[in-house]
């Protein structure tokens, strides 16, 4: 995996965060426990989940492009 301190590593980390939070939003118990707070540090997870659910097509295309970049081009 790419290091987090490079630009491609930061993009890969943010895509993984958005995808993970969007999937965790589908679990009712985790949604109330993890994604209920809208401010502060926990609010980042909530906002990532909202981005992942509203822009699911763009996030999926970005994940495929990032995987292609990491596996083939890098």
* pTM score: 0.81
**Nearest of 48, 45, 61 to residue 18 by alpha carbon:** 48
Per-domain boundaries in the chain? 5-73
Per-residue pLDDT of the chain (74 residues; tens, 9 = 90+): 555 578 888 899 999 999 999 998 888 887 787 777 888 888 898 899 999 999 999 999 999 999 999 899 87
Asked if 52 contacts 59 with a C-beta cutoff of 8 angstroms, the reply is yes
Which of 15-44 are b and which e, b meaning 16 or more Cβ less than 10 Å from the residue's Cβ? bebbbebbebbeeeeeeeebbeeeeeeeee
């Amino acid at each position: 995996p790419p290091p987090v301190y490079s630009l491609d590593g930061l993009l890969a980390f943010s895509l993984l965060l958005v995808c993970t939070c969007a999937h965790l939003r589908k679990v009712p118990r985790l949604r109330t426990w993890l994604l209920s707070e809208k401010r502060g540090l926990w609010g980042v997870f909530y906002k990532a989940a909202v981005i992942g659910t509203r822009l699911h097509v763009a996030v999926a295309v970005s994940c495929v492009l990032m995987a292609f970049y990491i596996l083939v081009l890098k």
